[in-house]
Every structure is written in C-alpha cells, then in structure tokens.
Structure 1
Amino acid sequence: MTQPLPPPSLTPQFCFNTVALRDFLRISRGATDDSITQNLNALIQPSTAGFDPSSTSTRIPRGPRSKTISSPSCRNFKNQVLFPSWQVRSDVLNYCASVATSPDPEDPESVLRQAESERDRERVVDERLDPYSARFFPREARTERLATIIRQERGVENIIRARSWGLVMERCGEDWRDWEEALNEWRKGREKSQ
C-alpha cells in the first residue's frame, strides 16, 4: 500500500514558487488518486485455493461491481492513505490561499506596477486614430496570480476526489453519500483521537 507524501514546509516562498506548488500537488495526486485502481487491486486477497488454469480459458465480462474488497482493508486504505493524502493537499491549498489573500510587502514587481499605472493615467487615448490604443493590460500582483492558481487547483482537486471516491465506492461497496462527507467524518474522528 502506498503511503501519502509528507507535507512540504509551508512558507509564502513555497506558495509563490508555483512550479514547486504544482509539482507537489501533481506528485501527491499521482501517488494516490492517479493509481487508485492499482492501490485498490492490491487490497484484494489472493485466492486461498490456488490458481485455477481453466479460469483463463473463457473471458467473463466484468459486472457492475468487480470484486469487492473486505471492509477492514478498505477502511485501512481510506484512513491511512487516501484521506491523509487529501488532507495534506487541502492544508497546502488552504495555506497558499491565505497567503494569496494577505498583503505582500515583498512583491518584487509592485514598483513596476505602480509606474505602469501612473503612465496609464497620463496617456491620452484617441480611439478614432487607433481603436486599440485604449487597451491596457496591467500586470497582476503575484498574490492575484497565486489566487488564480489556487482556484484552478481546487477545481482539479474536486474532480479528482470525486473520481477516486467513485472508484472506492464501487470496489468497497460501502454506502457513503459523497467524498466530502466521508472526509469530514474522518477529520472528526482524527480530532477526537488527538
């Protein structure tokens, strides 16, 4: 069974380094969610009677449910791998979202943006001569760029979690309404044990 990635050290520099942020999310998703089928297949107990060579002579289409996995194995996978991985990614995204909404006194481009804004105010625009002269695209602050990336990554995270949870539901045969409720239930159980 794969283990969730350890959380990175959370600093504003980590968040503003969007390559490192996205690499962490990509690697974490690859370790658990992208390989969820393999992880779930690894939980199935091998046959106790041994291999039957005649079982390969005919192909039987898979029904709506493939082999269900035992409840203890599923529960361990969810509690020790899936939910901790999701929680680490949630913690990273929440921290970086707070960085994106905080003032950024160390923004290296703030002086440049102020100068561009000043030049834009002084500019005279005659749209009859050049209809495109009114276009002005100010530079985004790095906190705004980070906020956009966080919104995108949260959308990706929701899609990936829904897909992974669907596979877990199909293979484990348990009856949870949705992944958010299951994750919140896990969080509550974890808080009680701490």
Structure 2
Amino acid sequence: MSQPSNKPTLTPQFCFNETALRDFLRLSRATIDDSIIQNLNALVTPARDGFDPSSTAERQVQPARRRPIDSAACQAFKEKVLFQSWQTRSDVLNYCAGVALDPTDPDLILREAETAKDRERVVDERLDPYSGRFFPREARTESLANLIRNERGVEGIIRARTWGLVTERCGDVGIRWEEALNRWRESTEGR
C-alpha cells in the first residue's frame, strides 16, 4: 500500500519557491491519486479464493470482472493513505494562501519605485517603438495567489476523479468526496 507524502516544513520561503511547491503537489498526487487504480488493486487479495483451474481453460477475450475489495482494507486505505494525503496537500495550500495575503511583501516597495521611475521616463517612440510599452511586474504574492487558486482547481478535479474510482471499487456510492473528507476530519480531531 502506498504511503501519503510527508508534510514539508511550511515556511514562506517554501511557498514562494513555486518549483518546490509544485513539485511537492505533483509528487503527492502521483503517489496516490494518479496511481489510484494500482493502489486499489494492491488491496485485493487474489489468493484468498484459491486457484481455479478452469480459469485457464479458455482465452478470456472480455476483461475479467473486477474483484471486490474487502471493506476493511478499503476503509484503512482511505483513512491512512488517501484522506491523509489530501489533508496534507490542503494544509500546504491553506498555509501558502495565507502567505500570499501577506501585506508586508518586500517586492511592493520595489514595484512602487519602478512604477514611479516609469512615469518619469520620456519616450521617443520614433526612435524605439517598443520603449513605450510598460510591462508591470507581478508581485510575488499575486503570483503565489494565482498559483494557489490554480492548484486548488486541480485538486478538486483530481479528488473527484480519484473518489469516483474509489467509490466504484469500495462501494461508497452516494457520498461526495468533500463529505467523506469532512467526516474523516471530524473523526480524527479527537485523536
């Protein structure tokens, strides 16, 4: 069974290092969500039923029906791996979203100085037609906020896909992933 990703040390430097943040999210998703079918198949115990010699009597053209997964194994996987991984990613995204709201952004002063300098600049567009263009630099907090917004959208899509496969194999039909995750959070709060 796969193990959930370890929670990184949460610091503003981690959040502003967009490569490290994206790599953590990508690795965590690849370990659990992207390989969910393999993770669920690993929960099946094929030797439990014993070997059926008639299974080799003819060629199986149609895919064999999926073996049901033991409900205890499914529940353990969801609680110890899936929800734990989702919660870790949520914690990282929530922390970094808080960092993105930081009003003491050191780049703010630099951007204000650049804007003031650009207002004073005299441009002769006949000599350089491109010099009149001004490309304001995006603050790193704005860039981080956009990244967090995009990653939360990706999380929603991935979790919905993963949960669809989990419910198909484990039989939790009728419950949405948000509700299942919230129930798990409530059950682990007292621990």
Establish whether TM, by shorter chain, passes 0.5.
yes
1:8-66 Cα offsets, whole Å, 9 max, x none, are: 11110110011111111111111111111111001112233433354243325348x72
Distance in 1 between the 2:78 and 2:28 partners? 15
1:115 aligned partner: 113
Task: Check if 1:93 corresponds to 2:93.
Answer: yes
Structure 1 residue runs of 5 or longer lacking an equivalent are none
Deviation, 1:91, is 0.2
Distance 1:60 1:177, change over 3 A: farther
Amino acid at match of 1:166: G
Distance in 1 between the 2:62 and 2:112 partners? 65
Deviation, 1:173, is 1.3
Task: Check if 1:164 corresponds to 2:166.
Answer: no
1:42 aligned partner: 42
Task: Check if 1:177 corresponds to 2:184.
Answer: no
1:149-168 Cα offsets, whole Å, 9 max, x none, are: 11111111111101100000
2:60 aligned partner: 59
Deviation, 1:68, is 1.9
Distance in 2 between the 1:49 and 1:3 partners? 27
Q: TM-score, normalised by structure 1?
A: 0.86
1:54-101 Cα offsets, whole Å, 9 max, x none, are: 4243325348x7222121111100001000000000000000000001
Deviation, 1:122, is 2.8
Amino acid at match of 2:60: R
Distance 1:79 1:60, change over 3 A: farther
Equivalences for residues 118-129 of structure 1 within 5 A: 118-123=116-121
Distance in 2 between the 1:78 and 1:49 partners? 24
Distance in 2 between the 1:182 and 1:128 partners? 64
Distance in 1 between the 2:8 and 2:142 partners? 22
Deviation, 1:182, is 0.5
Distance in 2 between the 1:72 and 1:49 partners? 17
- The CA RMSD over aligned residues, in Å, is 2.4
| Contact kept in structure 2, 1:176 and 1:182, CA below 8 Å | no
Distance in 1 between the 2:120 and 2:188 partners? 58
Distance 1:85 1:49, change over 3 A: closer
Report how many aligned residue pairs link the two structures.
Answer: 190
**Farther off after superposition, 3-12 or 131-140:** 131-140
| Contact kept in structure 2, 1:104 and 1:143, CA below 8 Å | no
- Secondary structure at the residue paired with 1:47? helix
Structure 2 residue runs of 5 or longer lacking an equivalent are none
